[in-house]
Chains A and B, each alone.
Chain A
Amino acid sequence: MREARDVAANANPEQTMADEKLTLEAVKKLAADIGMTRLNDTHLQDLLRATNAAHARRKALDMSGLTYADEPAHILDLTRGDTQ
């Protein structure tokens, strides 16, 4: 199962942060950009798989029933003392 994911993860040479499939080199650069500079090759493989899995989750968000006015689930509630 993991092998299959690795193959899929390395299949696409073009990438951006929101792309479905990143390469190891690309994810290494993205990680460094947010201060994750201590990742070894094993950690980067973990990050690559995790990022691709997260992108799949993002794609599965079904936003089709929402309008531009639909609000997030949690917003500041000033009746509960959030001003303090």
Chain B
Amino acid sequence: MTDFAWLTVAEVSALLRSKKLSPVEYAKALIARAEKHDKHYNAYLRPTPDIALEDARRAENEILQGRYRGPWHGVPYGLKDIVDYADLPTTAHSKILQNNVATADAVVTQKLKAAGGVFMGKLSTHEFATGGPSFDLPWPPARNPWNRDHFCGGSSSGSGTATGAGFLPAAIGTDTGGSVRNPASMCGVVGMKGTYGLVSRRGVVPLAFSLDHVGTLTRTVRDNAMMLDLIAGYDAQDPASANHATGGYTAQLGRDLKGLRIGVLRHFYAKDMQADAEVAASIEASVQKLTELGAIISEVSTAPLQTYQACNRVILLSEAFAVHEKWMQERPQDYGQLARERLMGGAFVRAADYVNATRLRRKLTAEFHALFDHVDVIVTSSSMDPPCRIDDPQANEYTYSRQSRAPFNVTGSPGLSVPTGFTKNGLPLGIQLVGKPFSEALLYRVAYAYEQASPWVNMHPTLV
């Protein structure tokens, strides 16, 4: 059981292809693991063991008949419950959409199905990808696999917990202000938000149209690159989709970092905000490791973190309220308190403020991208604090905005959260790698080199 829980996608894929592992046997093992432990972690909002076993049996038959579809054939995955899976409810973890049955698959779901993936279920989220962790919703909040008394990050909370807990090897999340990278950093897994427009958002409940990204959470860098390879691509029916070549994200894995120019964006976590001492020390140790791996390190600077955050929030609040206004008029009581408060913030943002935020966004984006004239990759913080207790609303409120992920939703840059160890109390820490648009393969190269030179990928939580 334990061996199955911690198999990577790459390992599983090889075993399935060579018929040394049965997709049905593997799916059954992961289903049993979740049935045993998830009552303590709430990663799944709606597990779908029947669908998983049907998918697994189909994969097994096809593989045995020589009709192997590729590296995701027979591999389990989960979807944050704002992503449509036809004929299942997409609830956004909210009473508002409790009975909202999807009529079609999201584009990412289509791709995972076509690849022969095994669908394990819908995963918990913060309500409408913003309100959490909340205890006043129809389903409980996901908890941290390393210590269930602690926050697992969000809003792709179940995606982080499920991958971190070994319930499945890969999950889809979404990221509007950091919601893939946050649970990644807090659950000790790898989380990628690619360039804006790289992955289709069609079939995903919107939070803020111009900031929303679909992303990937896995336990290893290689698996993450493999998943992005599968789901990236132009979609003419998504107005934000980038008509740009995609794929090849595993191509640079294993290349060394000699001569690579890495900029440290230190003022985000050392001046604009003071990161927790253990977080800051972990970042600096990671930078030292990258130096040892041959990277040329320099320091870079940009506008203050707070300027980016204000830009992100004014845009996010405005666009999100446009989505939620009708429900706020008709069903305000059906939101949880946190989502209601966070979403209502857009009710009275002036039109001029929204436009000005988008004007500032263009300037910030241009200035930030200019940094890549001098460096290849930027390293900075992800979360400023280790995971706090999930039952401490003041601590959650305090740490909620203490992050440096939102800037890269503003700029649309690819951002990758990578595990960098643990606090003294055994809670995960992480850094964030950021690149110029469509440089995901390079980010994976740096992350992979770091991962291979560090012990963290082989450490797993002991579940209750």
- Chain A residues engaging chain B, CB cutoff 8 angstroms: 1-2, 17-18, 30-31, 34-40, 42-43, 46-47, 49-51, 53-54, 57-58, 60-63, 65-66, 70-74, 80-82
State the CA gap A7–B64 with chains docked (Å).
68
Q: Does B358 contact A (CB under 8 A)?
A: yes
Q: State the Cβ distance, B346 to closest chain A Cβ, in Å.
A: 7
Majority DSSP secondary structure for residues of B touching A: helix
B349: min CB distance to chain A, Å: 6
Main secondary structure of the interface of A (DSSP, over half): loop
B interface residues, Cβ below 8 angstroms from A: 210, 236, 239, 243, 303-304, 306-307, 309-311, 313-314, 317, 325, 328-333, 337, 340-350, 353, 355-363, 365, 393-394, 397-398
Asked if A34 meets B310 with Cβ closer than 8 Å, knowing A61-B357, A70-B362, A72-B359, the reply is no
Known: A38-B330, A54-B314, A62-B303. A70 touches B363 (CB 8 A): yes
Q: Count the A-B residue pairs with Cβ separation under 8 angstroms: how many?
A: 119
- 25 sampled A-B residue pairs with Cβ under 8 A: A1-B397, A30-B348, A35-B329, A40-B332, A40-B333, A43-B344, A46-B337, A46-B344, A47-B347, A50-B344, A54-B314, A54-B349, A57-B310, A58-B314, A58-B350, A61-B353, A61-B360, A63-B359, A70-B363, A71-B362, A72-B355, A72-B358, A73-B210, A73-B358, A73-B359
Chain A residues lying within 8 Å of B306, measured Cβ to Cβ, are 60
Complex Cα–Cα for A50 and B337 (A): 11
Question: Nearest 3 A-B pairs (CB), nearest first?
Answer: A60-B310, A50-B345, A72-B358
Q: Are B313 and A57 in contact (CB under 8 A)?
A: yes
Determine the residue in chain A with the shortest Cβ distance to B397.
A1
Kindly list chain B residues whose C-beta atoms are within 8 Å of the C-beta of A71.
359, 362
Give every chain B residue within 8 A of A47 (Cβ-Cβ).
341, 344, 347
Measured in the bound complex, the distance between the Cα atoms of B357 and A27 in whole Å is 24
**Contact yes or no, A38 B359, CB < 8 A:** no
